Amino acid sequence: MKTYSVIVAYQPDIARLRLMVDVLEKHGINVIVVDNSEPSVGLHLENDAEVISLNKNVGIAAAQNIGIRRALDGDCEAVVFFDQDSSISAGLLKTLLGKLSRGEKRVVAPVFFDEKGGFEYPAILVNRWGMRKKVHPSASSVPVSVDIVISSGSAISRAAIETVGLMDETLFIDYVDTEWCLRARSLDVPIEVLPEAKMLHSIGDASINLIAVRVPVHGALRRYYRVRNSFLLLRMPHVPKLLALREVLYSFVHQAIIMLFVSGRGKYLRYFLKALVDGVCGERGKMK
């Protein structure tokens, strides 16, 4: 199966990126690195990876779409996504791609473990009313059907991409994978987590761990997109309204927690207030 890997880079650790690209290429996967750095870092990987330097930050969704279109032009049969700092192995790739068949509409993803804390990131099920349920696929002996997974590590068949479409570039960065997965769900494209496929991943610069909640910490600008885009989900017909309302509520809760524990509260507050206004007004794309 002809497979491409799309990696979006932003001011990457080049040595670590090279290691990942080497693993992918040794497994026979064509690699496309889309350099979203602003300004460009002049990325050279000294291998066969195709590097597309954009010389500006167009957002994760637009950068992924550039890579996806290049893969489709190359007659790919599947695309697997990774973040620039993902830790992967040949065994992971073999497991993921072994579950995809030509012409099949399907998405498969690994079980994610936090690189620093070692805990498992749950996958998400969404019921008919829009209520979320966290599931931990590592406890299963068979593939687990879910509704939402993160993009890094996900392998998507060409047929699934052609059915669901590209990433929503108007979101710019946050909720991109969530929106795409819910769109796939609305079109009956199955998403499965494979318990035997395990991958290290890290979300946020750090996390705040309270008794009942773990809040990933991002910078003030990233929080802008998180808050604004939660409102945009309310406008999307394939996103259950109760789920979208939950994301709006949690954006407030998480923002309050972050502002209690992290320095630079003034900047966080300014971006938060702008996110509220832009979210209510339906502003999309890169923050103006």
Q: Could you tell me whether strands 191-201 and 107-114 are parallel, antiparallel, or unpaired per DSSP bridges? A: parallel
**Residues whose CB falls within 8 Å of the CB of residue 126, separated by 6 or more in sequence, listed in order:** 132, 133, 147, 148, 182, 185, 240, 243
**Which domains occur in the chain, in start order?**
3-201 (3.90.550.60), 206-281 (no CATH)
Residue 167 · residue 176 · CB < 8 Å: yes
What value does the mean pLDDT of the chain take?
A: 92
pLDDT at residue 214 in the model: 74
- pLDDT value at position 154? 96
pLDDT digits (tens, 9 = 90+) for 173-216: 999 999 999 999 999 999 999 999 999 877 666 777 776 677 88
- pTM listed for this prediction: 0.93
Flag the least confident range among 96-105, 107-116, 167-176, 248-257. Answer: 107-116
**What confidence tier does 5 reach under pLDDT thresholds 50, 70, 90?**
very high
Write down the pLDDT at residue 212.
65
46-101 pLDDT, tens digit per residue, is: 678 899 999 899 999 999 999 999 999 999 999 999 998 888 888 899 999 999 99
Q: The tokens of 73 are what?
A: 């032009």
User: How does pLDDT run across 116-175, given as a tens digit for each residue?
Assistant: 777 888 899 999 899 999 999 999 999 999 999 999 999 999 999 999 999 999 999 999
Closest CA to 179 of 100, 277, 247, 254: 247
Report the C-alpha gap between 152 and 223 in whole angstroms.
20
The pLDDT, as a whole number, for residue 241 is 96
44-51, long-range: CB < 8 A, 24+ apart = 45/14, 45/17, 45/18, 45/21, 46/18, 47/18, 47/21, 47/22, 49/21, 49/25
Hey, what are 133's tokens?
């349920």
One-letter identity of residue 228: R
What pLDDT is stored for residue 136 in this prediction? 93
How big is the chain by its Cα radius of gyration, in Å?
18
272 falls in which pLDDT band (50, 70, 90)? very high
Asked if 7 and 84 count as a contact pair (C-beta separation under 8 A), the reply is yes
Confidence class of residue 236 from pLDDT cuts 50, 70 and 90? very high
**Average pLDDT, stretch 27-52?**
83
- Residue 9 or residue 208, greater confidence: 9
pLDDT at 42: 66
What residues does 107 pair with on adjacent strands? 156, 191
